[in-house]
């Protein structure tokens, strides 16, 4: 029965994520926010709701490894997602057509990940008002970083060229007939559905993991992280089908920095000290992998010319290989 619920929750999550991305595309098109800002803030926050409920639930039941592993693993899986879609849409050269403004978000995500990595290595169990000092600093850096990013000048959007034989997605029904109010209300409803379905998805994934006998670190970093990242995967697919590259990339990078805030916020509910100091060393592997692959992503965005298709897709290939290698290392080191 657990597998049935898992599949049903996955189906509902996919449906809600499709609607979420469609509404987000309308908002980014009909308002002054743009695809990058909508993707980084609205879409990223909404698709990260399953991670919120999963991590908080894990902390409440006293399993910090699942909470931390879910956050870091989700970030790793998100980079894997964008690399896979980049390979699939390689003729469009998505990274070449993405705004350089994404470097701000990617840079903040890289900084936060490095801070988590340092915390995992040092394991300083120091709390301030029952909140780990490292988690508190991470949250403060996140807030300052987002304020700075919001005030930075934005580069003009780049139109993604369509493929010669591509069947264009008909955006008329959404962009021209749907009002902003309708899109905002629909976005909120879809976000609530995703949070509910994502919670069921995570709980069922955890029960499946218990049945299979896998460790909490691997379960959080691989199985649950992948399932709670399902909304991000669907949102990116829909955004790319709508030829909104900035919405797609903004969703992934925005979700990654929001996940770091969730990780820090989980410490508030963990009553046995600093949460990062209480987890397995196997999470260091995930943090290192996210750090390295985030640098690869930033390099891809900076690369505005590619001599050949192979040279262009090489970063995405590195990310995909890095994802599977790190997942294996997490499994053997837990």
Q: What are 147-205's pLDDT values in tens digits?
A: 898 787 765 544 444 444 444 444 444 455 777 788 788 888 888 887 787 677 667 76
Is residue 167 helix, strand or coil? coil
Burial class (CB within 10 angstroms; exposed 0-12, middle 13-18, buried 19+) of 87: middle
229-244: string of b/e by CB count within 10 Å (b at 16+)? bbbbbbbbbbbbbbbb
Element (H, E) at 132: strand 131-132
Q: Tell me phi and psi for residue 194, to 5 degrees.
A: -65, -40
What angle do the packed helices 102-122 and 245-269 form, to 10 degrees? 30
> What whole-number distance in Å separates Cα of residue 317 and Cα of residue 219?
25
CB 291 within 8 A of CB 78: no
Q: Kindly state the tokens that stand for 268.
A: 């508030």
From first to last of the 334 residues of the chain, give the pLDDT tens digit: 777 887 888 788 778 777 776 777 677 666 655 545 555 566 666 667 777 777 777 787 777 887 888 889 889 999 999 999 988 888 778 888 788 888 899 999 999 999 999 999 998 888 887 788 999 999 999 999 988 987 877 655 444 444 444 444 444 444 557 777 887 888 888 888 877 876 776 677 667 767 766 655 566 566 677 777 777 787 788 778 877 788 788 888 888 898 888 888 888 888 788 889 888 888 899 999 999 999 999 998 888 776 677 888 899 999 999 999 988 887 777 6
> What whole-number distance in Å separates Cα of residue 13 and Cα of residue 51?
13
Domains of the chain: 2-155+171-333 (1.20.1420.30)
Cα distances from 261 to residues 58, 99, 256, 300, in angstroms, run: 16, 24, 9, 25
Q: What is the pTM of this model?
A: 0.78
Q: Please, which residues bridge with residue 132 across strands?
A: 127
Question: In the prediction, which pLDDT does 171 show?
Answer: 46
Question: In the prediction, which pLDDT does 209 show?
Answer: 66
Question: In the prediction, which pLDDT does 79 show?
Answer: 93
> What whole-number distance in Å separates Cα of residue 155 and Cα of residue 197?
36
Q: How many CB atoms lie within 10 A of CB 179?
A: 10
Question: In the prediction, which pLDDT does 263 show?
Answer: 85
Q: What is the DSSP letter of 165?
A: T
Contacts of 272 (CB under 8 A, 6+ apart): 62, 278
């Amino acid at each position: 029965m657990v597998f049935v619920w898992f599949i049903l929750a996955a189906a509902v999550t996919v449906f809600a994520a499709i609607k979420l991305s469609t509404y987000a595309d309308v908002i980014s098109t009909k308002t002054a926010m743009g695809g990058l800002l909508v993707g980084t803030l609205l879409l990223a926050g909404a698709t990260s709701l399953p991670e919120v409920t999963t991590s908080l639930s894990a902390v409440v039941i006293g399993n910090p490894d699942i909470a931390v592993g879910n956050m870091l693993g989700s970030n790793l899986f998100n980079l894997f997602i964008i690399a896979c879609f980049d390979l699939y849409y390689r003729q469009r050269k998505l990274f070449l057509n993405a705004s350089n403004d994404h470097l701000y978000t990617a840079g903040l995500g890289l900084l936060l990940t490095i801070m988590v990595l340092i915390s995992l290595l040092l394991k300083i169990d120091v709390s301030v008002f029952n909140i780990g000092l490292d988690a508190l600093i991470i949250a403060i850096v996140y807030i300052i970083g987002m304020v700075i990013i919001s005030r930075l000048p934005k580069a003009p959007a780049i139109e993604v060229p369509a493929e010669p034989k591509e069947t264009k997605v008909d955006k008329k029904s959404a962009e021209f007939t749907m009002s902003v109010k309708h899109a905002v209300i629909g976005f909120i409803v879809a976000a609530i559905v995703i949070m509910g379905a994502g919670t069921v998805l995570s709980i069922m994934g955890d029960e499946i993991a218990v049945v299979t006998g896998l460790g909490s670190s691997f379960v959080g970093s691989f199985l649950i992280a992948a399932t709670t990242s399902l909304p991000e995967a669907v949102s990116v697919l829909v955004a790319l089908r709508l030829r909104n590259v900035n919405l797609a990339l903004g969703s992934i990078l925005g979700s990654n920095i929001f996940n770091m805030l969730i990780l820090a916020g989980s410490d508030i509910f963990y009553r046995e000290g600093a949460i990062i100091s209480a987890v397995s060393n196997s999470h260091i592997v995930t943090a290192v992998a996210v750090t390295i692959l985030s640098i690869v992503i930033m390099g891809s965005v900076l690369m505005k010319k590619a001599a050949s298709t192979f040279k262009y897709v090489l970063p995405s290939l590195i990310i995909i290989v890095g994802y599977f290698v790190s997942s294996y290392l997490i499994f053997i080191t837990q």
